[in-house]
A and B are shown apart, each in its own frame.
Chain A
């Protein structure tokens, strides 16, 4: 019926007369083809993941680190346990070896499930190339493929870890039956954990991404969940729960994997429980395919809650931030009166980008992970250590610059050519980013530092120093950061979490800026507090080779001398940034 040109003569196979072609009844329903397609999908997925991992050397290193560290620790611990207790020997508490193993397996299985659930919610719940897969195969085949792939990938961790533990225990106890059962147990534990965890994770992911309220407030909810998790850990609640459920968990079916592992050893494992542990695998696998298919049918075909994410042809975006726009437009107009329209526009744009992608700001919270113990101690004792305000000052200055000024070119994203080709001058561009950071960070940061200084409480002069030092540090830090960011921009997105990509400042910019802040803090600290001088002199003398030493006076002089270039550096940095923008090219 076509009115087009003559057919190509290349001999390429062309569809036969296929209108109304009857569907091949053998392909409908569940059959061998389901298994075959599932295995194909799984195999290709594993191949892709492996290729991606090999491409990113860091993932290979991380894998090797996890396996070597935990395998080494676990294997050596198992060796010691086996050597001192043996199999079925007396333990210094009321449980037998078998009971400890059952409880341990049940808890480890739960941990494994938790890890896979988190992974599913974060990344694996979304089908890669969903259109390509779901327009070819039924949902259950796609599900089977994902489950197979997850099983293989999880086994890549479980098998070597359990293998090393089994080898260590065998060597210590002199009983080698575990070497035969360990691979079977690793496969069984992994299969059952994936079978339970994947549908559970997919269901949670559905709630998180498809229930409007949750999807919209995902960022704050994630932070709350993280805080709750940390609170559980540092309040010992989690530890108490683990201890209290250890005994009941010994009776859980997932504890039967211990019987399978210890089968044939003097530990007295139950052959029936070992057999039931094996039987769990097909039962849970089949149930998982059925349940996951139901959940996937809901999740993979559900309409996106937040427009613009999956279906760009949905017409008007129902989630426009008009109310924000109104307020920000007024702020932009007001700001424009003082700093000019261009600067005001870029300033407001920087805020919008930061506010509308809160997950992308997660990397700013990373340093807080190191302070978790510190914060927990404050919460526990109700006492704020004297160093807390200075620590907060340092964090505020660092975070403010990292969000707004440490990668101004990269933050422009695909809009960079438009910005570069606009009438915006380098002075306006640089000023806008410093201003965006200062307007947000100065009041919030000063309040935080002042609150901590009051809570300590600090002496009046120290209080004044940290409170007045906060805005000064933010401004000085931002000025220095903007030049560093312009010199070492990063344009490509990197993984902030396993599921979130963001354009973050380059590593060199991070390091250069962090080093600058530390130097300023050190020089200012030494100058402000003479008591530090002998300490620094002692440390420096200890570090220096050939018996060289440094006196406190030299330290004092060096700190004061260093303050001069450190004070000049921000202005030089801004000078450079302005010129860099005026000559920027888009390669």
Chain B
């Protein structure tokens, strides 16, 4: 059962026993997160571990089975309030193929009530910054995966949301574009925007994230700073975040979890 008790006002994202079940399948189980504003929160996990489901719940696109969650102080049961605070870039960028990049961005800006002149100026700057200016008036159906990804990212941030959910934001990007995205994430975080970042590219998390959580089979199996997770891995002569990730998820493949195992660091 989904309930709405009072949120912690100091947190940008908070979940309490958040659970999602699809039929007999537990996609996310008893998830507890407490993320402060301005944090870049790396959300890791193997394929099918429940990362996207969690993000969809937090952006109100999927209803939880039980538990509660708050985004920027609003319960996720209040869609209307939550969507005003969030920007979301899903793994497949939500763009209209038949429109040009500029038309897509104007459309989104219009739905966010950004005045036309301001929107146009920002759109131009973002298009320039992401190397899309030359293709701005071409239909998106001819775009490469990386171009769509960049366009989707601009859509997610153009209204200056307080919390941004990014699902594999550097997927399909060349190194220069990936650097632009990483710089942008860093800038946003410097302005106290909270970034919820799901990616398989662990170097991105290692470089950007203040906190890291590892989800496995829908359960939170580790949380801490990248250094803390690496430190944990060092106990087994491992040094990198990748090795820590493999170590943590391997542990939980072998033995079922108890309640105490959920939050490690």
Give A contacts to B, CB under 8 Å: 1-5, 7-8, 10-21, 23-24, 27-28, 33, 37, 40-41, 44, 47-48, 51-52, 55, 128-139, 141, 301, 303-304, 307, 311-316, 318
Contact = CB atoms under 8 A, between A and B. Distances in A.
Interface in B113-172: 113, 122, 125-126, 128-129, 139, 155, 157, 160-162
A1 B35 CA distance: 12
A5 B83 contact: no
B67 interface: no
Residue among A4, A19, A28, A47 with the most chain B CB within 10 A?
A19
Nearest to B155: A132
Nearest to B52: A313
A318 B22 contact: yes
A307 B22 contact: yes
Interface in B36-92: 36-40, 47-53, 56, 59-63, 72-74, 79-81, 83-88, 90
Interface in B165-209: 180, 182-194, 207-208
B259 interface: no
Interface of B: 9, 12, 22-27, 36-40, 47-53, 56, 59-63, 72-74, 79-81, 83-88, 90, 94-96, 98-99, 103, 107-108, 110-113, 122, 125-126, 128-129, 139, 155, 157, 160-162, 180, 182-194, 207-208, 210, 217-218
Contacts of B210: 1-3
A84 to B, nearest CB: 48
Given A15-B188, A138-B80, 5 more contacts: A19-B162, A131-B61, A137-B83, A301-B61, A313-B49
Residue with the greatest number of chain A CB neighbours at <10 A, chosen from B36, B103, B155, B160: B160
Given A303-B22, A314-B53, A17 B191 contact: yes
A293 B95 CA distance: 23
Contacts of A315: 22, 25-27, 48-50, 217-218
A40 B210 CA distance: 39
B186 A5 contact: yes
A135 B183 contact: no
The 7 closest A-B pairs by CB, nearest first: A132-B94, A4-B186, A19-B37, A2-B189, A313-B52, A15-B160, A48-B98
Given A2-B185, A3-B208, A14-B188, A20 B73 contact: yes
Nearest to A52: B98
Contacts of A128: 96
A584 B40 CA distance: 49
B78 to A, nearest CB: 9
A136 B52 contact: no
A8 to B, nearest CB: 5
Main secondary structure of the interface of A (DSSP, over half): loop
A196 B107 CA distance: 28
A10 B125 contact: yes
23 contacts: A1-B189, A4-B207, A7-B187, A14-B188, A18-B193, A21-B162, A37-B111, A40-B107, A44-B96, A47-B98, A130-B61, A132-B155, A134-B61, A135-B94, A136-B83, A136-B112, A138-B79, A301-B62, A301-B63, A303-B22, A311-B56, A313-B49, A315-B22
Given A14-B187, A16-B160, A33-B113, A314 B25 contact: yes
A41 B99 CA distance: 13
Contacts of B12: 19-20
Contacts of A12: 122, 125-126, 129, 184
B208 to A, nearest CB: 5
Nearest to B107: A44
Contacts of B25: 307, 314-316, 318
A388 B15 CA distance: 67
Contacts of A11: 125
A41 B111 contact: yes
Contact of B50 (A5, A15, A313): A313
Given A14-B191, A313-B52, A129 B107 contact: no
Contacts of A44: 96, 99, 103, 107
Given A8-B180, A12-B125, A15-B193, A1 B40 contact: yes
A309 to B, nearest CB: 11
Residue among A15, A23, A52 with max Cβ neighbours from chain B (10 Å): A15
A20 B12 CA distance: 7
Nearest to B165: A135
Contacts of B22: 303-304, 307, 311, 314-315, 318
A27 B182 contact: no
A151 to B, nearest CB: 19
Nearest to A139: B79
A511 to B, nearest CB: 29
A4 B99 contact: no
B128 A10 contact: yes
B100 to A, nearest CB: 10
A541 B162 CA distance: 82
Contacts of B83: 134-138
Given A4-B186, A15-B191, A15-B193, A131 B37 contact: no
Contacts of A15: 157, 160-162, 188, 191, 193
A16 B122 CA distance: 14
Given A128-B96, A311-B56, A313-B50, A136 B111 contact: yes
A3 B155 CA distance: 25
B191 A16 contact: yes
A458 B208 CA distance: 81
Contact of B111 (A40, A304, A313): A40
A440 B108 CA distance: 52
Contacts of B94: 129, 131-133, 135
Contacts of B125: 10-13
